[in-house]
Amino acid sequence: MRGPHNIIRLIRTGATLERTGAMNVVLDAFEAPPLLRFVAHALGKPFQWLGYKGDPDMPPATRALTALGPAYIKFGQVLSTRPDVVGDDLAEQLRVLQDKLPPFSKAEAMAEVEKELGRSVAEVFSEFSEPIAAASIAQVHRARLADSDQDVAVKVLRPGIERAFRKDVDAFYFAARIVDLFAPGARRLRPMEVIEHFDGVVQGELDLRLESAAASEFAANTTDDEGFQLPQIVWNYSARRVMTLGWADGVPLGDNDAIDGAGHNRVDLGERVLRLFLMHALRDGFFHADMHQGNLKVAANGDIIAYDFGIMGHIDEYTRRVYAEILFGFIRRDYKRVAEVHFEAGYVPANQDVDEFARALRAVGEPIFGMDATHISMGRLLSYLFEVTERFGMETRTELILLQRTMVVVEGVARSLNPHINIWEVAHPVVEDYIKKSIGPRAIVSDLAKTAKVLARFGPRLPGLVEQALIAQTHVSDQQPSAWRTAIAPAVVGAVVGGCAVLAAIALF
């Protein structure tokens, strides 16, 4: 039934896009070629009566995806993190997508909890509330642990959500293959890549053990961060479809009146939320990628509390160093250095002209730095930067796109707390401190120590490697002397050099 189901689902999707006025918005965003436009309208217009009406007060794209259901809402949210694919205008529309859906019953939730934990709800919890928040994939209940009297939040996946998402994701793959068939040359579409990315995100959110692990790792990284806290995962009462964590008690970060009433300093909070995000992205390479006001609270002691760890961003150490150098170069307005970093990292092809690229970067940076300090946006800078690098042949890097999107959200949170915040002034010490630790002399020593540890693990194998190389040499040196010079000799030399490096490293460290 997969084929018929996919066709029927795509027809209903096209009909809903036509009925809500979203079809041309979506096609324009993807720069769809004429043939694909014809196919899309052919699937939609004759069947408009099959489409969902949606909420006419919403923008067309948001209206259509909300009407089509949970998988489409989540797909829109993921696409909002990819302006490189859908364009800035549609990405902006999709950022306001809310996945607040009608909750399923408390009885169903309790049944899911008992099935996952293998114990009765009454045995685990002395209290278990009606749902307090319901989204596309899961809903949350407030509860109290029977054994410790601790208040907790219990997140439970919707019954049957895995099967529902699987059916829709299957239809998305089918649609991607159609796009490949009718628009093979559409540069920006990359349909299979987009669906694979979405599929990966959803699979992570459909296994709450992975979200629990992400929350645990995030907590371990940030345990010493002043003014920041995370609810603790209760592993004994968490499983694939249920996650239990400490209750986050505080004032919503989006409620300025409540924040003022509680006596908190909004200027400090605005600066802190920005500093924390940059520290997590640069220092740890692991950051909360959904840091809007709905996922942040202020505790009674003034700490910022973050929760909901379904979307986390990861950046490897090398990319963090490159990103920091690029940011620091812009802060100092050293566009030549920013250009050189792009070439050194291999982001821009070597056949491009570094001086021309530096001039293009100056065209990005100078107008921004000419603004009033309170209007300067790091997120906007990164967005412009990606546009320029794309013109010079840079491959799209998904992790940096997610970072840029989160940067925009965090800036919005910071400005909502303090409209006069100077983003660069707050960011400068964080970036500068990371540069000193990751690129200066201390970083060289640290890198050498890491290299020594890796080489030391191979120390016991070095004699065997040398012996194997010498045995192989006796078989080939007489008949094929060139092989010794081009293949075996370098192996022996490498092994000897490696051994010396290990001995030197042990002596030094």
Closest among 408, 386, 421 to 266, alpha carbons compared? 421
Output the six-digit token pair for 144. 């109290």
Cα of first residue to Cα of last residue in the chain, in angstroms, is 63
The helix-helix angle for 208-222 and 191-205 (nearest 10°) equals 80
With a CB cutoff of 8 Å and minimum separation 6, the contacts of 443 are 437
Which backbone phi and psi does 227 adopt, to 5 degrees? 75, 20
Give yes or no for a contact between 8 and 60, defined as CB atoms under 8 angstroms apart.
Answer: no
How many C-beta neighbours within 10 Å does residue 76 have?
A: 24
Residue 128 host element (H or E):
strand 125-134
Is-catalytic flag, 290?
yes
Give yes or no for a contact between 274 and 421, defined as CB atoms under 8 angstroms apart.
Answer: yes
SS3 80: coil
Q: Please name the amino acid found at residue 22.
A: A
Give yes or no for a contact between 245 and 233, defined as CB atoms under 8 angstroms apart.
Answer: yes
Polymer length of the chain: 509
Nearest-5° Cα angle at 351, 348 to 357: 55
Output the six-digit token pair for 310. 């379904």
Active-site entry in 147, 290, 372, 433: 290
How many C-beta neighbours within 10 Å does residue 308 have?
A: 22
Residue 32 CA to its chain's centroid (Å):
26
DSSP 373: G
How many C-beta neighbours within 10 Å does residue 509 have?
A: 11
The helix-helix angle for 398-417 and 317-331 (nearest 10°) equals 50
Count of H-run helices and E-run strands, the chain: 24, 10
Q: What is the Cα–Cα distance from 110 to 416, expressed in whole angstroms? A: 38
Give yes or no for a contact between 437 and 473, defined as CB atoms under 8 angstroms apart.
Answer: no
Q: What is the Cα–Cα distance from 336 to 364, expressed in whole angstroms? A: 13
Give yes or no for a contact between 14 and 46, defined as CB atoms under 8 angstroms apart.
Answer: no
With a CB cutoff of 8 Å and minimum separation 6, the contacts of 396 are 84, 386, 390
Q: What is the Cα–Cα distance from 269 to 414, expressed in whole angstroms? A: 8
| Residue for token pair 């579409």 | 189
Q: What is the dihedral of CA 5, 10, 11, 15, to 10 degrees?
A: 140
Q: Please name the amino acid found at residue 72.
A: Y
Give the residue numbers annotated as catalytic, written as ranges.
290
